[in-house]
Structures are given as structure tokens and as C-alpha cells.
Chains A and B, each alone.
Chain A
Amino acid sequence: MGGLIGLIVLLFLLPMIIQQQTYYLHVFIIVLIYIIVVSSLRTVALSGQLSVGHAAFMGVGAYFSGVITRELAISPWLAIPLGGLASMLVAVLIGYPFTRVRAIYFSMISLFGGIIIVDLIMVAQKWTGAAGLANIPLLSPINIPGIGNITFLGQKLPYYYCTLILTLVCLFILYRLEHSRVGINWKAIAQSHMVASSVGINEAYYRVLALAVGCFFAGLAGAWYAHYTLVLGTSTFGFLPSIYLVMYMLVGGQKRFAGPIIGTTILVMVPELVRSLKESAPLVLGAIMVIVVFLMPQGIVGLFDQIRVRYRKSNKRKVTESVAGN
């Protein structure tokens, strides 16, 4: 707990540490946004559903919010949560008919679903722009009592703080859900859907729920991303980015909540840090992934668990004795 508070304080002091260099602030903002997206991907995966089209749901939120703020002149502050809801709605509409589809077959549906969504965004050129969506409105200035008026024009710092707060709130909600009855049911379904429904857990409901929650946060993060970058192209939300999201999650470790956070931080930052290597930079990224897959099948976070298990002796025999000794 102390470590967590320390980390959060550090994140709030970070702009001072990096002396408000615009470029690094930008990298951290992107990392924070993707932490939301990858954590939401893990939330879907908790119920045993590995989505390989998750970036498309980020895209639904981004485009929805971008288009309605441009066309209808709605405040971005309202449009961003609406973007999340739009993404959630699309996810439920696609997910509900396929609740009988499990495991790898679900992944295939999510792959096609993601591709179709991105295609539809491209088809709707009238609103989404032939060469990408540009001129997305900035976040409008807000007035926080005690701090004063905050404007976002040409400023990275307010964006950094707002993104940080958004990320912390999203992570808090996802963490609470995972450690509540809802999360228990998700994990139960992932382990055995037969056993889960035999104790009264409505498998279809909880799987759609996981999809809805995960895609809401992906859409929310996407909408926030739209009002940060102000320009959108469909290539950000296609198949390859979806695969990257899965990579971020697996490299960090899927089993624990911290996995996506660590994986995303490392894998988004590494390409930026090794930028001086020019065209061989992707090699570093590839090398990290290969090393993780070979040496840490449970991801970076899983490595700590492996070490802990190694230092604890197998206790199968002890178990037998303690039951039999009743």
C-alpha cells in the first residue's frame, strides 16, 4: 500500500523530474492512455475471452467522440463518456449473439468483429474523413475551484495531469470489479464454464458483462486519445494494434492486475528510448518479446510468482496428511 501511494506521488511529481520536456510528457500521456486500454483488455480476458480486436473498440470511442464534437458541437467532456458508452453498445451487440462461442473461437469472432468495425469507420467517410479525421476539438477549458482556469491549448502539462487522474480512476474501478463478486464469477467462468453454471452463475450474462465493461473503458480511453491527438487515422485501431495490445498484456503478465501496467509501460517506452537505433529499433522490441515468451511464460509479473513458488516446498503430502488426520 505504501509503495502504491509512493508510486502515485511519483507520477504526480514526474513532470518536475523530467523538467516538463514536451516530448517525454507526450510519451507518458500515451503510456497512461494505453494502460487503460490494455487493463480493459485484461478485464475481458478475466472471463476467459481473449479479444484480438480490442483496438477497434478504442477506435469506436475515439471516432464517436471525435465526430459528435465536430458535427454537433458537443463539449468533449460530455462526448468522451459517450464514446465509452458507444463502444460498449457496439461490443454488446456483437458479443451477445456469440455467447456460446468460447476460447479460440471467441478470439476469431473478435478478430473479424474488429476488422469489420474498422472497415465501417472507413466506409463512413462522410463523417470520418477520407484521409483521417482532423480538426477534432481540444478539451474545452475547465474551471476547478482552488486551482483556477485550466486551458489545454498548446499545453502538455494539463493533459498529463488529467490523463493521470483518468487512468487512476479507471484502474481503481477495474480493480474493484475484479476483486468483487463480479470478478470472482468472471474467473470462475474462465476456469470452467460447466462448473460455473452448475453453481448458478449465468455464464452468458457475465461474459457479455466483461465485454461491456472492457469495451466501455477501451472506448473511453480512445475518446480521450482523440481529444489529445486531435487527428485520427484508422491504422491506429486495426488488426496489428490489437495484436500489440495483446502483446503488452502477455509481456506484463495476464494473471495479475499489475501485468498490463508494467507491460504497457515497458513496451510503449522502449521504442521511444531506442529511437537512436533508427531502423533497427523494432529489433529491440522483438527481442524483448522473444525473451519474455521463452523465459517468462507468465509475463514479467509472473516471474516474481515463479521465484516465490520455487522457494516454497511442494506440500502435496502435507495436504493428504492433514485431511486424513481428521
Chain B
Amino acid sequence: MLLETKGLTKNFGGLTAVSKLDLQVSEGEIVALIGPNGAGKSTVFNLVTGVLHPTAGKVLFNGRDITGQKPHTVAHLGIGRTFQFAYLFADFTVLENLVASCHLYPRSGFWEALINTPSYRHKEARIQTKALEILKFVGLDKVKDELARNLPHGYQKVLGVARALAVNPKLLLLDEPIAGMTREEIYFSLDVFRKIRSQGITILLIEHNMECMDLCDRVIVLNFGHKIAEGSSAEVRQNPEVIQAYFGRKNA
């Protein structure tokens, strides 16, 4: 099991955002986490990546307990993530976004950066190459010198995914990766996700879009912090509890 949560719970004051959640993602899967607004999907991501600390429960990554680790440590362990909003460094160019994101591999220290040693320069050159490779992989290499803020919305999100790939992730957490995209941008992104999967990277994503769901091996449905259903996208769509969560109870 690549990612596992055991009894994961988060209370914000009196509100329980995530309640005793048991979640399993195995290697090579694409899993979708869905649910109505406020179901606690993004909170799960923040708990896994250490942005928030759980009230109770555990997060295991590759069998190792990572509960309560700092976000930068979690990145180091091999979890890349994107955000629903503010997903990139807006004042950097596309290439600079990737260069800044390649902080961990290869890694350099304060003094070698200050003195500008040959080994430091070599590492920075490798980072440039790696950054360009990732941009080429997601198909953004043609706009590498544009300011990130000038990209159309959809490609900004793709850049967010590219940025997350820079930490050499085993697991990628994508928070609404195609929300608000145009049709072409969605196809563009889905292609990218397929390519990422073919690299053997596991993906856990939050999404509402059905086309994205069909890409997934498994769908997990949350409502008010509880897991209410799990299965293939077709199974989940038939599940009465899911229908009720999204559309309400049918009145006679």
C-alpha cells in the first residue's frame, strides 16, 4: 500500500471536517476523491501533506508513519501536490517555476551557493536540464519564457502539475486539476495524467468532472468527512447514498 490513512480525523473547533477516514491507495493506481462542497476532500490532502495536523488517526506512506510531518519533509519523502487555488509562483516565468521547484534534486547548500563552487554550478545546470525535460513532458516547453501569470488558466494548472512532478514524486495529489478548464485544456490535461501514470506515478485526485473520473481505477466518495462509497466510477454513480449526497433525498 503506497498511501494509507487509519482513522484520520480533523476537527475545526466544533466542526468535524474529516471523520475516522480509512483510505488506501496502492502503487500505480489513479484514485479519485469526490464529494459535495465541504465534504472534506481538500482537508484530506492537507492532512496527508502536513499542512494541517490531524486531531486523531495516522497517515502511512510506503508503510512509514508520516503523521504530523512538515510539508517540506513530506515533499522530500516523495509526495507531490497541486493546489486548488494559487498553484504556482505567479511572478516567475514558466521555466523559473520549474527551476524553483527542483529544490530537492539535486540539492545544494547555502555556502556552495554563496561561493558559487563548480559543483554548485554543475547542480544548477542539471536543474535547468531537468526543468526543461519536465516542461517538455507536460507540453509547456514552448512557453517556457512567459510569466506564469500570463498563461491561460488551464495551462497554469498544468504548470502546477509540472511543478509537483519536480519533487520526483511516487504519489501525486491533484486538487481539482481540471476545474474551470476549457474543452481543449481538459483533453490536454488528461493526456498529461495518462503520461504521468505510464511513468509509474500513483495519482490521487479530487475532481467532479466525469471525464476525469473515467480515467480513474477507483472512486472514493466523501460526505461530511465520512467515506460513504467506494468503487469504480460506474458503481459509484449508481450508489443511492451518493445520489442522495449530491442531489438530496427524493420527496414522495
Contacts and interface: CB of A to CB of B under 8 A. Distances in A.
Contact of A177 (B76, B83, B89, B113): B113
Interface string A106-149: 00000000000000000000000000000000000000000000
Interface in A167-221: 173, 176-177, 180-182, 184-185, 187-188, 191-192, 194-203, 209
Nearest to A193: B71
B72 interface: yes
Contact of B89 (A195, A209, A325): A195
A199 B103 contact: yes
A319 interface: yes
A194 B42 CA distance: 14
A319 B155 contact: yes
B151 to A, nearest CB: 6
A251 B167 CA distance: 38
Interface in B19-61: 49, 51
A287 interface: no
Contact of A195 (B70, B88, B151): B88
Contact of B110 (A182, A322, A323, A325): A182
A323 B89 contact: no
A316 interface: yes
A191 B104 contact: no
Nearest to A183: B113
Contacts of B164: 198-199
A182 B124 CA distance: 12
A178 B81 CA distance: 27
A319 B113 contact: no
Interface string B111-122: 001101000100
B151 A176 contact: no
B5 to A, nearest CB: 19
B142 A323 contact: yes
B71 A198 contact: yes
Interface string B77-105: 00011010011111110001001111110
B11 interface: no
Nearest to B143: A319
A203 B103 CA distance: 12
Most chain A beta-carbon contacts within 10 A, residue among B76, B143, B163: B143
Contact of A182 (B114, B150, B151): B114
B175 to A, nearest CB: 11
Given A177-B114, A319-B155, A320-B152, A185 B140 contact: no
A322 B142 contact: yes
Interface in B111-146: 113-114, 116, 120, 124, 139-140, 142-143, 146
Given A181-B124, A191-B90, A198 B116 contact: no
A316 B152 contact: yes
Contacts of B72: 197, 200-203
Contact of A198 (B83, B96, B151): B83
A180 B121 CA distance: 10
Given A176-B116, A191-B90, A324 B75 contact: no
B212 interface: no
Contacts of B166: 199
B25 to A, nearest CB: 18
B113 A181 contact: yes
Contacts, number: 113
B249 to A, nearest CB: 37
A322 B152 contact: no
Most chain A beta-carbon contacts within 10 A, residue among B88, B91, B108, B167: B91
Contact of B108 (A181, A201, A326): A181
A202 B74 CA distance: 11
A154 to B, nearest CB: 38
Given A191-B90, A322-B142, A322-B143, A198 B81 contact: yes
A19 interface: no
A315 interface: yes
Interface of A: 173, 176-177, 180-182, 184-185, 187-188, 191-192, 194-203, 209, 315-316, 319-320, 322-326
27 contacts: A173-B114, A176-B116, A180-B116, A182-B110, A182-B113, A184-B99, A188-B89, A188-B100, A191-B90, A191-B92, A195-B89, A197-B72, A197-B75, A199-B100, A199-B101, A199-B164, A200-B104, A201-B103, A315-B150, A316-B152, A319-B150, A319-B152, A320-B155, A323-B143, A323-B151, A323-B188, A324-B188
Interface of B: 49, 51, 70-72, 75-76, 80-81, 83, 86-92, 96, 99-104, 108, 110, 113-114, 116, 120, 124, 139-140, 142-143, 146, 150-152, 155, 163-164, 166-167, 184, 188
Given A180-B120, A185-B100, A198-B49, 15 more contacts: A176-B114, A180-B114, A181-B124, A188-B89, A192-B86, A195-B87, A198-B71, A200-B76, A200-B104, A201-B103, A316-B150, A319-B143, A319-B151, A325-B142, A326-B142
